[in-house]
Amino acid sequence: MTWKERDAAVVWHPFTPQKNIGNIIPIVKASGSLLYDENGNSYIDSISSWWVTLHGHAHPYIAQKIYEQAQTLEQVIFAGFTHQPGIVLAERLLALHQHHFSKIFYSDNGSTATEVAIKMAIQYWWNKGDLKRKKILAFRNSYHGDTFGAMSVSHRSVFTLAFNDHLFEVICIDTPNPENIGTIKSIIHSHASEIAAFIYEPLIQGAGGMHLYDADLLNELLNTVNLADIICIADEVMTGFGRTGKFFASDYLHKKPDILCMSKGLTGGTMALGATACTDKIYTAYVQDDPLKTFFHGHSFTANPIACSAALASLDLLEQTATIDAIHQISDACSNFYESISQEKAFINPRLLGTILAFELNTANHGYLNSISTTITNLALAKGIFLRPLGNTVYIMPPYCINNAELCRIFDFLRVLKDL
Ligand SMILES: *Cc1c(COP(=O)(O)O)cnc(C)c1O
């Protein structure tokens, strides 16, 4: 049996319709920005394997650190025990956020990082004895993960349809624009006393179609939310670690959140790890004599030492000037491409933020489940490029190690899509 056949017999893949399963490609190795299949074909990983890979695949420096950690301490229960990688990573993450936050709570993926944030915020009010503040305020079109809490605060979509009756109620607002900002503020004012927290993807909604919105208006909104004493949760699971051109998207904003979620690029995309940072204000609500005020949350692999070491290695690389330069070069190259397509009618709403470039294709097929996405993915694969559009939203988010020749190949391919 081939690997494909063996896979089909035993494995169920994520986000994949199980009837007429399309192309599932066995990947045997990867290096830099390239993925290699079993026949030796290579594909430029232009979306960083679902937005996680920062420095390229199988990076020797990160691999070495993982190897060393695996031989020293691979895992230990994180309640009652601690370890150096977990401590040093927390120190470095807090420093990256200019010590605005005071504690790091570890978990093991993006959905758990947001679940932790939501639970932390809800229990904050419970611990303080304010039993009215229970609701979450969230943006329409948002995505915060696939577990129940994360789904609840995400946009109701084809992803959540079967579960909608089981999701908790959320107060929804649109992302701000000059026309609706007044309405949004009045919604917040009228519900303020019942809202525990506001969760948002700063500046760009990823899974919602790489939708960009205005930093000044977000500042204004966060200001309103702050004044209403609502806890702010920035979900930086996608935007963290340089994606938007700064270390964090929140670095573009004057208003800092009370809680911030990290995952995906945290380990350079090598290991599963989540981290939720909170300010002293949040943390102190949990420092109480009453044991019922404890945050009863944890995962078997909380702060896994190998994952923490991978994250430390990724931060070493990320802090090098060469990496910062690479991020700017990707941004510049994308910007040139953006200029070159801005007059093309086939490309709707081209947009750019840091290393993320996106546009919609002018096609009759809309929505996540349309076939245009599969068509584009297959066309790209034939050209040695891996792309995975969100419906008719085509985007790239390459690893920082991508070279100019590879970027040019991607851009040449994208240009041809106007004739689709
Ligand atoms: C991907 C993503 C998540 C969920 O992360 P997983 O590791 O896939 O669970 C949460 N929030 C945002 C903004 C994301 O992009």
For residue 256, count other CB atoms closer than 10 A to its CB.
18
For residue 109, count other CB atoms closer than 10 A to its CB.
21
Look up tokens 């994949």; give the residue: 16
Closest C-alpha residue for ligand 1 atom 11: 144
For residue 155, count other CB atoms closer than 10 A to its CB.
19
Instruction: Give the pLDDT score at 20.
Output: 84
Q: Average pLDDT in the 374-398 region?
A: 96
Q: Which two tokens stand for residue 143?
A: 């995505």
What percent of the chain has pLDDT above 90?
93
CA distance 258 to 233: 6
pLDDT in tens, 350-370: 999 999 999 999 876 556 566
Q: Which neighbouring-strand residues pair with 262?
A: 275
pLDDT in tens, 270-282: 999 999 999 999 9
CA distance 133 to 135: 6
pLDDT in tens, 146-161: 999 999 999 998 889 9
Predicted confidence (pLDDT) at residue 199 exceeds the cutoff of 80:
yes
Predicted confidence (pLDDT) at residue 419 exceeds the cutoff of 90:
no
Pocket of ligand 1 (CB under 6 A): 109-111, 114, 143-145, 201, 206-207, 235, 237-238, 263
Q: What is the mean pLDDT of the chain?
A: 96
Closest C-alpha residue for ligand 1 atom 6: 110
- pTM to 2 decimals? 0.97
Instruction: Give the pLDDT score at 367.
Output: 62
pLDDT in tens, 224-258: 999 999 999 999 999 999 999 999 999 999 999 99
Q: Average pLDDT in the 328-345 region?
A: 95
* Mutation test residue for ligand 1: of 48, 109, 237, 243, the one with most atoms within 8 Å of CB: 237
**231 with 282: CB under 8 angstroms?**
yes
Are β-strands 274-278 and 259-262 bridged in parallel, bridged antiparallel, or unpaired? Answer: antiparallel
pLDDT in tens, 254-270: 999 999 999 999 999 99
**259 with 277: CB under 8 angstroms?**
yes
For residue 415, count other CB atoms closer than 10 A to its CB.
15
- Chain centroid, CA 123 distance in Å: 24
Closest C-alpha residue for ligand 1 atom 10: 144
Instruction: Give the pLDDT score at 371.
Output: 81
CA distance 361 to 271: 34
Burial (CB < 10 A; 0-12, 13-18, 19+), residue 150, is buried
Separation of CA 206 and ligand 1 centre (Å): 9
Identify the structural domains of the chain with CATH numbers, from first to last. 3-59+321-419 (3.90.1150.10), 64-318 (3.40.640.10)
Q: Which two tokens stand for residue 68?
A: 């060393």
Which is nearest to 397 in space by CA: 270, 241, 175, 215?
241
What percent of the chain has pLDDT above 70?
98
User: Given CA atoms 215, 216, 221, 223 in this order, what sign does their dihedral have?
Assistant: positive
pLDDT in tens, 306-317: 999 999 999 999
Separation of CA 23 and ligand 1 centre (Å): 24
Task: Find all residues with CB under 8 Å of 25, minimum gap 6, and list them.
Answer: 37, 381
Separation of CA 33 and ligand 1 centre (Å): 21
CA distance 74 to 78: 12
* Mutation test residue for ligand 1: of 116, 118, 144, 262, the one with most atoms within 8 Å of CB: 144
Closest approach atom of ligand 1 to CA 235: 13
Q: Average pLDDT in the 389-399 region?
A: 96
User: Given CA atoms 122, 123, 125, 129 in this order, what sign does their dihedral have?
Assistant: positive
Buried b (16+ CB within 10 A) or exposed e, 213-232: beeebbebbbebbbebebbb
SS3 sequence of the chain: CCHHHHHHHHCCCCCCCCCCCCCCCCEEEEEECEEEECCCCEEEECCHHHHCCCCCECCHHHHHHHHHHHHHCCCCCCCCCCCHHHHHHHHHHHHHCCCCCCEEEEECCHHHHHHHHHHHHHHHHHHCCCCCCCEEEEECCCCCCCCHHHHHCCCCCCCCHHHHHHCCCEEEECCCCCCCHHHHHHHHHHHHHHEEEEEECCCEECCCCCEECCHHHHHHHHHHHHHCCCEEEEECCCCCCCCCCCCCHHHHCCCCCCEEEECHHHHCCCCCCEEEEECHHHHHCCCCCCHHHCCCCCCCCCCCHHHHHHHHHHHHHHCCHHHHHHHHHHHHHHHHHHHHHCCCCCEEEEEEECCEEEEEECCCCCCCCCCHHHHHHHHHHHCCEECCCECCEEEECCCCCCCHHHHHHHHHHHHHHHHC
Separation of CA 322 and ligand 1 centre (Å): 27
